Structure 1
């Protein structure tokens, strides 16, 4: 997989844009039966072994790259000064992003550095990075792990600045999309608190719109997403989510309108062909 945006089109009933990719870093599955779907009574989602993922990621490196990252790993263990550990974690994160082009290890080490640094800026940057990734992550266990990481950092950031609405929305979104609670309403309530107090907060409107789409409340999703695209007409994910909401509601005319609108954001031939095929299907 090379370093580029990965666009997944036509996934079942909609179009989704994956802004972040995480590489082939998931170790091979065991021969044990797959777990029941998350959220089913009495069942727990499969857990992620991040150390196994990092080890699998290292196997994809060249010998010289493996030697370099091993030196950095040793430096973290030896470092007894927090500032030195933060520096090494950032070096490791930069390596995985810029040289290895595997963004799951990058996200992990960025998060480790942020937790040690414990500044609102670094914590929220890393937390939002995880949040963006988990919303588009198809692997349930990895999604839950990412949500847990984001949740921890959002909570640390809120302890520093309890009045940051973006952080509150981010934390609520972890519950809403990350399968870390049996009660998703816990997350919705956090986001609604901001949306009800500040109706101009488009991040809150967007998350609630996506939540409505996810739960099948298409009228509510459309109401929220219409507000977002009116204020942020270049928000491609909001445009596509709005088109999908109309499609799943059965409003083919408006679905065609917004899928057509989304074409302006893409130049890739394959994506445009897929959108055209979707539009043609809706016009039948």
Structure 2
């Protein structure tokens, strides 16, 4: 959407919308069409190299405010002093514990505490510790999902690359245990698309649709990728396909409106934006839709 051909898309409104709607990955405008940003890192650090007491994780035990790039649902999460003290105490017990089973239990509890205050990278790390003691599809999935959540809100390309690689290695373990886990395959695809091998991710998304033609996440992400490569007619097809599966998909309806506007179908775009206003009451979304509608009306 940042490479749109019409003035609708080249405004500050886009920044507001991208904060409110998916996909929440960093887009590198300097790269080729449809290619997401990556820092170019090639090695995934071992868990043994990932010190739970490094400054980033230590900050998570002491700071009270939620990260600035958290999603809308997490934006108002503020850890209480009691929560922070509980986490600090549990971390101290975790560091002292020698028994692997007891340590895994503490790690699981810590992961839940961190996830509750939107510290997803730390939650991923501690779920990863559980998976090392109790490997399996579900334990790997919990760790991967938390790293993926952190990846989608990474503030820098370097951090995005680091977190995507952690998610990749864990989702690969999930799929080794269960190749039919389509959610894991879809998320894995998006980490590839954000890196130096985007076609590998697109291939995975197509595999997901081959197995489940109505998979909403796969259809949605392929639609957004079509927008990123300026294939707006194809994006319209994808989002119409998505809305045939789920007529109340807010993000899909919004991006359908943008894609229709890009292809010159103003009346259809207006209908899509008005539908978004029926589906969502989020102030940021409504403000963005109103701005799009104003621009469409002024272009008449």
TM-score, with structure 1 as normaliser: 0.73
Deviations 1:138-162 (A, max 9, x none): 5323322332222122101111112
2:113 match: 95
Q: Please show how residues 102-251 of structure 1 align to structure 2 within 5 Å.
A: 102-114=119-131, 116-132=133-149, 134-135=151-152, 137-176=154-193, 178-179=194-195, 182-251=196-265
Query: How much has 1:185 moved relative to structure 2?
Result: 0.5
Determine helix, strand or coil for the equivalent of 2:20: strand
Query: How much has 1:283 moved relative to structure 2?
Result: 1.8
Which of these residues, 33, 47, 59, is aligned with residue 56 of structure 1? 59
User: Residue 193 and residue 95 in structure 1: after superposition, are their counterparts in 2 closer, same or farther (change >3 A)?
Assistant: closer
Query: How much has 1:187 moved relative to structure 2?
Result: 0.9
Structure 1: unaligned runs, 5 residues or longer: 1-8, 22-35
Say whether the 8 Å CA contact 1:151–1:174 is kept in structure 2.
Answer: yes
2:266 match: 252
User: Residue 125 and residue 97 in structure 1: after superposition, are their counterparts in 2 closer, same or farther (change >3 A)?
Assistant: closer
TM-score, with structure 2 as normaliser: 0.69
Moved more, 10-19 or 138-147: 10-19
Deviations 1:187-239 (A, max 9, x none): 11122123245433333222222222233222222222211111112222222
Structure of greater relative contact order (alpha carbons < 8 Å, 6+ residues apart):
2
Structure 2: unaligned runs, 5 residues or longer: 1-11, 65-79
User: Residue 83 and residue 238 in structure 1: after superposition, are their counterparts in 2 closer, same or farther (change >3 A)?
Assistant: farther
Say whether the 8 Å CA contact 2:108–2:126 is kept in structure 1.
Answer: yes
Query: How much has 1:250 moved relative to structure 2?
Result: 4.0
Query: How much has 1:274 moved relative to structure 2?
Result: 3.1
1:276 match: 290
1:74 match: 92
1:32 match: none
Determine helix, strand or coil for the equivalent of 2:180: coil
CA RMSD, 1 decimal: 3.6
Deviations 1:108-142 (A, max 9, x none): 43444345432212333443454455345453233
- How many correspondences in the alignment? 256
Say whether the 8 Å CA contact 1:175–1:187 is kept in structure 2.
Answer: yes
Say whether the 8 Å CA contact 1:225–1:238 is kept in structure 2.
Answer: yes
Determine helix, strand or coil for the equivalent of 1:11: helix
Say whether the 8 Å CA contact 1:252–1:282 is kept in structure 2.
Answer: yes
Query: How much has 1:265 moved relative to structure 2?
Result: 2.7
Say whether the 8 Å CA contact 1:13–1:244 is kept in structure 2.
Answer: no
